[in-house]
Amino acid sequence: KQEVTQIPAALSVPEGENLVLNCSFTDSAIYNLQWFRQDPGKGLTSLLLIQSSQREQTSGRLNASLDKSSGRSTLYIAASQPGDSATYLCAVNDYKLSFGAGTTVTVRA
């Protein structure tokens, strides 16, 4: 059974600092991995989808890398802003989606 872990559970940084969020998974036979953002009381918004054949994916200030062999993905958010405060979840697809518990990010102005 796929286990997805996100450490740390919470992170607080000053505005402008780069954010590094980690996601690890136990079974490397995956099709793809998605990163989501969840704001309080809201649903999840898909940020990036990385196929298993890709090493990284970029969108604006966001960059996600994938190392299947080591079972890791990292989400980088450059020059963080208070509006980036949210919970970030990764989900691994090995025919079915398994979600991590998320990292709650607070960006202090």
Partner 1 sequence: EAQVTQNPRYLITVTGKKLTVTCSQNMNHEYMSWYRQDPGLGLRQIYYSMNVEVTDKGDVPEGYKVSRKEKRNFPLILESPSPNQTSLYFCASSLSGLGDSPLHFGNGTRLTVT
Q: How many Å apart are CA 109 and CA 2, to the nearest integer?
A: 37
Centroid of chain to Cα 89: 5
Of 41, 53, 83, 109, the one binding partner 1 by CB under 8 A: 41
Q: What is the rounded CA–CA span in Å between residue 85 and residue 94? A: 29
> Which amino acid belongs to residue 107?
V
11 interacts with partner 1 by CB under 8 A:
no
Identity of the residue, 18 or 26, whose beta carbon is nearer to partner 1 in the bound complex: 26
Q: With binding defined as CB under 8 A, does residue 51 bind partner 1?
A: yes
Angle (CA) 50 51 56, round 5°: 45
Q: List binders of partner 1 among 84-103 (CB under 8 A).
A: 89, 91, 93, 95-97, 99-102
The residue written with tokens 């490397």 in the block is 28
Tell me which stretch binds partner 1 (CB under 8 A): 21-29, 32-40, 59-67, 69-77.
32-40
- Copy the structure tokens of residue 9: 């559970």
Nearer to partner 1, 42 or 108 (CB): 42
Where on the chain is the footprint of partner 1 (CB under 8 A)?
Answer: 31-32, 34, 36, 41-46, 49, 51, 89, 91, 93, 95-97, 99-102
